[in-house]
Amino acid sequence: MAYARFGKDSDVYVYESAHGGWVCERCGNFSDLMALKKHLLEHKERGDKVPQRAIDEIQSEIDINPGPKD
């Protein structure tokens, strides 16, 4: 499943890997959704186009399954 694909409204291609974790194409792999969300927000801060729906969908998944607490 892709959260975002390259296009006129997106400079990123982000998807869940079949091998586990998530990928931001051209950037690397992420083992947890919080790190992926932070990464996408950094893209936005640099001026890259990141669809808000991708960040919202990732946040929804984090809310459903927040993972271990530190």
- 21-56: per-residue pLDDT in tens? 999 999 999 999 999 999 999 999 999 999 999 999
Q: How confident is the model at residue 1 (pLDDT cuts 50, 70, 90)?
A: confident
Q: How confident is the model at residue 69 (pLDDT cuts 50, 70, 90)?
A: low
Quote the number of domains for the chain: 1
Domain that holds residue 24: 2-63
What does pTM read for this prediction? Answer: 0.90
69 is a domain residue: no
How many residues are present in the chain?
70
Per-residue pLDDT at 70: 55
Query: How far, in Å, are 19, 42, 58, 59, 70 from residue 53 at the CA level?
Result: 24, 16, 9, 10, 28
Question: Quick check: is 68 in a domain?
Answer: no
Q: Which amino acid is at 50?
A: V
